[in-house]
């Protein structure tokens, strides 16, 4: 190595001597031999002097490099032996300790020596895989004898012919105090929660003063008892709203018990038997109290939009949901419908055109609601279009009937045509969904400046944000019911075409299962208005007829159903069936005595497994299907799960059902 370095440092003079020899040769050729010999003698003398000087330089360079490298080796050895940090060398392949300094001996228990010792025996929590992956820092702290260490290190590759293996050197930095301070900081960070008596009007208002006071006192006592262990600040802000400020270390306990105060408050009943319910919004991981309060407000709004009686935790990235098993009860006033109708009318009137789209594979509720929005736009004299892609849908027959009406000629556009029609003043109305990933075309949603959302499904963690109008009522039976309420304030029933009324009636009948599920007084009011506008239930009924092959397929699905937990029917088929057929099979299973919830699973042919879920009892299928990546409402929900087999989804569904029912001591009462 020394000779190679000295050769690299030596000057290159060979070319010069070659030129001088060439001159000597030229002189000899010219016949001047004496001069040529003299020149040659001079060149020889110079070359001899050069060789002597080169030898001297090589000796000096070699001596200097040797001293330098020796001093570096000595410094390396000294720094290793006198390293101020605990240091251990070991072989990662065998985990055998090769050498360690005194400081590492001390932190492992003052051992006299560690030779022939495994590092795993000394530090059971240490894993050296990060060294083999080429990293220089352990990704997690290592606990050893009650202290916590951050470990750094590297690998020394063996020289050629070395069969001893790779040698790893690790340095152990004691970060116990820093880690404990960090843990205390995280544990004591503030968490802000807002608690809202979401059915105050139904359960408390209208009662005698002594009953009202007794109920409020009982609710306050239960809330106070729940908050006492956290030693936080709990105070009442309004007649039905409370503020709770506590440290983050107690949040994990509240999550583990799934916010048991929800069940505790539900035990408070008024003389009519109506249970009090509370919605909890928790803001966590905020940088300021203002941000925490904003997170808590968003969480309360999310809880209410999902039906109330649940807790929602919001951090900077996502939502977490707890509770929400009870069925929604109708708690709406016509004041909101009137306000929404006025706002909707202004948005439509100011728009250059109205574009309407529903969810992917739209059903009759989505199509009926879209037709109702077009009726409002027609009354306002604004151009209107319904977005429809070319894929088959469960509402193809309804599409055909509506498209045959003269007023709907040229109304249906594919997403690309709709993009060309849209401008800065266009209004996009999304019906029957509030999730951006479920709309028919996300690019169209992103390109429109003004968006209105009309939906009755319970809100999920992802929802369309920044909407100019958000008419979201999870207590409504269908999107058609909500659009019918808007129409009642914006136009006369006689202005609605009979075909439009029948389309909306079809959506209403679909989501209520012919007015047998999720119906309230407002549902029948909407149906009565549509009937006066020309909606013929007998004619609408024809839209629900199926052919013989679909009927046979439906009962074939039912034959595969198996009971789980005595009252849950799960039908898993390994062949593709129609979406409508599967939904009808799930509905039909509920007609069997003793079954309170049904799940139909089938592959759709595009690498996804579709889940169709229905319930008529206390089981909230929306909460269950949400765990599988789907959504819906308490009585009807669905999911499309990619990259899984039907059997894998069935096993995952069973696990979710176990978690759902074992999460509480007893099943919640319907409507409680």
Report the pLDDT value the prediction gives residue 15, as an integer from 0 to 100. Answer: 75
Assigned token pair, 20: 């001088």
Residue 654 CA, chain-centre distance (Å), reads 22
What is the per-residue burial (b if ≥16 Cβ within 10 Å, else e) of 393-407? bbbeebbebbeeeee
Q: Rounded to an integer, what distance in angstroms lies between the CA atom of residue 354 and that of residue 426? A: 6
* 593 touches 616 (CB < 8 A): no
Report the pLDDT value the prediction gives residue 550, as an integer from 0 to 100. Answer: 81
pTM higher than 0.85 for the full model?
Answer: no
Q: Rounded to an integer, what distance in angstroms lies between the CA atom of residue 643 and that of residue 609? A: 8
Report the pLDDT value the prediction gives residue 62, as an integer from 0 to 100. Answer: 67
Assigned token pair, 576: 């593709």
What is the mean pLDDT, run by run of 10 residues, along the chain of 672 residues?
Answer: 52 73 79 79 82 77 61 57 78 80 76 66 84 85 87 74 69 89 90 90 79 88 91 89 93 90 89 86 92 92 83 88 66 76 92 93 92 94 92 87 92 92 93 90 91 86 85 87 92 89 91 82 89 83 80 89 90 87 89 91 87 86 86 82 90 90 48 30
Angle, CA of 391, 518 and 627, to the nearest 5°: 65
Q: Rounded to an integer, what distance in angstroms lies between the CA atom of residue 571 and that of residue 553? A: 13
What is the per-residue burial (b if ≥16 Cβ within 10 Å, else e) of 364-385? bbbbbbbbbbbbbbbbbebebb
Report the pLDDT value the prediction gives residue 12, as an integer from 0 to 100. Answer: 67
Report the pLDDT value the prediction gives residue 482, as an integer from 0 to 100. Answer: 93
Report the pLDDT value the prediction gives residue 379, as an integer from 0 to 100. Answer: 92
Report the pLDDT value the prediction gives residue 221, as an integer from 0 to 100. Answer: 92
Q: Rounded to an integer, what distance in angstroms lies between the CA atom of residue 527 and that of residue 532? A: 9
- The residue among 435, 420, 423 whose CA lies nearest residue 467 is 435
Q: Rounded to an integer, what distance in angstroms lies between the CA atom of residue 116 and that of residue 119? A: 10
122 C-beta neighbours (distance < 10 Å), count: 22
Q: Rounded to an integer, what distance in angstroms lies between the CA atom of residue 286 and that of residue 329? A: 33
* 282 touches 310 (CB < 8 A): no
- Kindly state the helix (H) or strand (E) to which residue 238 belongs, with its residue range: strand 233-238
Give one DSSP letter per residue of 409-456, joined into a string.
TT-EE-HHHHHHH--TT-EEEEES---GGGBS-HHHHHH-SEEEEEE-
Q: Rounded to an integer, what distance in angstroms lies between the CA atom of residue 330 and that of residue 337? A: 14
């Amino acid at each position: 190595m020394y000779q190679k370095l000295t050769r690299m440092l030596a000057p290159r003079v060979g070319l010069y001597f070659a030129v001088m020899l060439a001159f000597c040769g030229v002189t000899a050729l010219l016949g001047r031999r004496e001069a040529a010999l003299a020149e040659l003698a001079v060149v020889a003398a110079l070359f001899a002097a050069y060789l002597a000087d080169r030898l001297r330089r090589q000796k000096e360079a070699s001596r200097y490099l040797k001293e330098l490298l020796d001093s570096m080796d000595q410094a390396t050895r000294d720094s290793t032996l006198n390293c101020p940090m605990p240091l251990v060398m070991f072989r990662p392949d065998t985990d055998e300790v090769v050498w360690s300094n005194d400081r590492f001996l001390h932190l492992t228990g003052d051992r006299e020596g560690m030779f022939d010792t495994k590092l795993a025996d000394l530090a059971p929590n240490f894993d050296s895989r990060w060294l083999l992956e080429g990293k220089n820092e352990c990704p997690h702290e290592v606990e050893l004898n009650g202290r916590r260490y951050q470990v750094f290190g590297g690998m020394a590759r063996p020289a050629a012919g070395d069969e001893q293996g790779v040698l790893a050197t690790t340095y152990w930095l004691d970060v116990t105090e820093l880690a404990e301070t960090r843990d205390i900081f995280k544990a004591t960070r503030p968490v802000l929660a807002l608690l809202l008596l979401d059915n105050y009007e139904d359960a408390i208002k209208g009662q005698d003063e002594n009953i009202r006071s007794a109920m409020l006192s009982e609710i306050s006592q239960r809330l106070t008892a729940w908050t006492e262990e956290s030693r936080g600040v709990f105070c009442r802000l309004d007649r039905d709203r409370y503020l709770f400020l506590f440290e983050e270390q107690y949040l994990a306990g509240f999550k583990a018990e799934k916010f048991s105060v929800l069940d505790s408050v539900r035990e408070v009943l008024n003389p009519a038997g109506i249970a009090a319910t509370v919605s909890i919004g928790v803001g966590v991981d905020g940088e300021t109290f203002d941000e925490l309060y904003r997170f808590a407000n968003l969480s309360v709004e999310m809880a209410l939009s999902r039906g109330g009686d649940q807790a929602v935790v919001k951090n900077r990235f996502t939502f977490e949901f707890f509770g929400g098993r009870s069925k929604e009860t109708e708690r709406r006033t016509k004041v909101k419908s009137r306000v929404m109708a006025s706002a909707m009318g202004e948005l439509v009137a100011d728009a250059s055109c109205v574009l309407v789209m529903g969810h992917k594979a739209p059903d009759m509720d989505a199509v009926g609601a879209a037709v109702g929005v077009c009726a409002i736009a027609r009354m306002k004299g604004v151009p209107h279009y319904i977005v429809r892609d070319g894929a088959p849908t469960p509402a193809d027959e309804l599409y055909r009937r509506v498209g045959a009406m003269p007023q709907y000629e040229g109304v249906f556009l594919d997403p690309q045509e709709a993009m060309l029609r849209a401008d800065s003043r266009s209004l996009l109305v999304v019906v029957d969904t509030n999730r951006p990933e479920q709309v028919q075309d996300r690019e169209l949603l992103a390109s429109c400046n003004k968006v209105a959302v009309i939906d009755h499904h319970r809100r999920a963690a992802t929802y369309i944000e920044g909407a100019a109008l958000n008419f979201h009522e999870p207590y409504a039976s269908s999107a058609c019911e909500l659009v019918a309420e808007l129409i009642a304030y914006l136009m006369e029933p006689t202005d609605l075409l009979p075909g439009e009324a029948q389309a909306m009636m079809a959506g209403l009948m679909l989501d209520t299962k012919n007015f047998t599920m999720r119906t309230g007084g407002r549902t029948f009011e909407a149906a009565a208005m549509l009937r006066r506008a020309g909606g013929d239930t007998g004619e609408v009924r024809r839209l629900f007829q199926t052919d013989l092959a679909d009927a046979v397929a439906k009962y074939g699905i039912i034959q595969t159903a198996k009971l789980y937990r005595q009252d849950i029917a799960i039908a898993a088929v390994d062949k593709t069936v129609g979406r409508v057929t599967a939904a009808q099979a799930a509905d039909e299973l509920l007609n069997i005595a003793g079954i309170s919830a049904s799940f139909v699973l089938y592959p759709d042919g595009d690498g996804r497994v579709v889940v169709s879920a229905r319930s008529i009892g206390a089981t909230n299928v929306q909460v269950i299907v949400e765990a599988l990546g789907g959504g819906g409402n308490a009585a009807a929900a669905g999911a499309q799960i990619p990259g899984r087999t039907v059997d894998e989804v069935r096993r995952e569904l069973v696990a979710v059902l176990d978690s759902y029912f074992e999460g509480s001591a007893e099943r919640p009462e319907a409507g409680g």
